[in-house]
Structure 1
Amino acid sequence: MLLSGHCLIVLERTMLAASPDEGCALLIGSRTGATLWVQRIWPCCNTWEPAAERPRHFQLDPREQLLAQRWVRERGLQVLGAAHSHPSSPAVPSRSDRERCLGPTLMLIRSGLAAEAAPLRAWWLPEPGANGEPPPEAMALPLETVPLEREPGDLGE
């Protein structure tokens, strides 16, 4: 998985701005073979209810998801998945993350733990289990940050 340096900055700021709640964003880019290239970050509001549970749960605003889908279609890109933060836990998909995920999809998680060796981790979540089966395990993906020049009109400016 490739992530531009500019996207990393936007993602970090989005997650920190939401603290102590879980922050969330859509990951926009392209896929070539097995390589996922995140080229844009679409910051989203955490609409989880009740609001008091937002430090441990997130829900993407459905209206923002629709706007993002329209935006990516017009530009020949795609929504690759979503990012969210775990303010007080490791950057590993929780059971709740896996149960609520509509895979197959990319998931980036940013841990808020100071001692976390890898605060940002990428995961591939396969299709959900069928007929009440437990959610499938997520597969860790290598995350490579690539230094790319910022393009005019980048989201998050």
Structure 2
Amino acid sequence: MIRLSPEHLQTIRAHAESTYPEECCGIILGYMAAEDKIVVEVMPTENAWNTEAGAEFSEKRTAESKRRQYAIAPEVMLKTQKEARNRLLNIIGIFHSHPDHPAIPSECDRLYAWQGYSYIIVTVQNGKAGELQSWSLDDRHQFQAETIENIK
């Protein structure tokens, strides 16, 4: 289960709407409490996807744009990890949007995902954020739905 506030959800939705029709992305900071991930902050980031990021995929994938792919720059991840540690937090997940597609992970999402992280996906239909779902990888590197609980 991942627990976050209505403000965190609003930040994710607003970022998704602001980048439409391209995918948005961002980093989720927090900590573990028993089996639950507790979100302290969501950090919108720039979508750094480019053809180099997609080089390991087929030509079709490489030709796709930020409308169907996202990447967070490695230097942003590293800087955020260092800052999180200084605040006694961890990166516990990533969020991104699916413009005009369901909030269900793609094969590319699965291939790039790391175990232990939550992956929140928000669908954006015609510029308006809609359904939001969280996913995590199981031991077979397959996504499983993760419960989202609002905290106040």
Query: Normalised by the size of structure 1, how large is the TM-score?
Result: 0.80
Counterpart selection for 2:79 from 57, 63, 67: 67
| Residue 102 of structure 1, CA deviation | 2.3
Counterpart selection for 2:147 from 129, 137, 142: 142
5 Å matches for 1:18-97?
18-50=19-51, 53-97=65-109
Verify: 1:119 aligned to 2:122, yes or no: no
| Residue 137 of structure 1, CA deviation | 2.0
Which residue of the partner structure matches residue 98 of structure 1? 110
Q: Check the 8 A contact 2:92/2:116 in 1, yes or no.
A: no
Higher relative contact order (CA 8 A, sep 6+): 2
Kindly provide the amino acid, as one letter, of the partner of residue 25 in structure 1.
Answer: G
Deviations 1:94-153 (A, max 9, x none): 111001112232100001137xxx7100111235x6xxxxxx321111111222xxxxxx
Count of residue correspondences? 137
Give the 4+ runs in structure 1 shifted more than 2 A. none
Kindly provide the amino acid, as one letter, of the partner of residue 147 in structure 2.
Answer: P
Tell me the SS of whatever aligns to 2:125: coil
Instruction: Say which structure is richer in strand.
Output: 2
Q: Tell me how large the CA RMSD over aligned residues is.
A: 1.8
**1:99 and 1:143 mapped to 2: Cα distance?**
23
**2:11 and 2:125 mapped to 1: Cα distance?**
19
Gaps of 5+ in 2: 52-62
Q: Check the 8 A contact 1:105/1:126 in 2, yes or no.
A: no
Query: Normalised by the size of structure 2, how large is the TM-score?
Result: 0.83
**1:126 and 1:105 mapped to 2: Cα distance?**
11
| Residue 52 of structure 1, CA deviation | 6.1
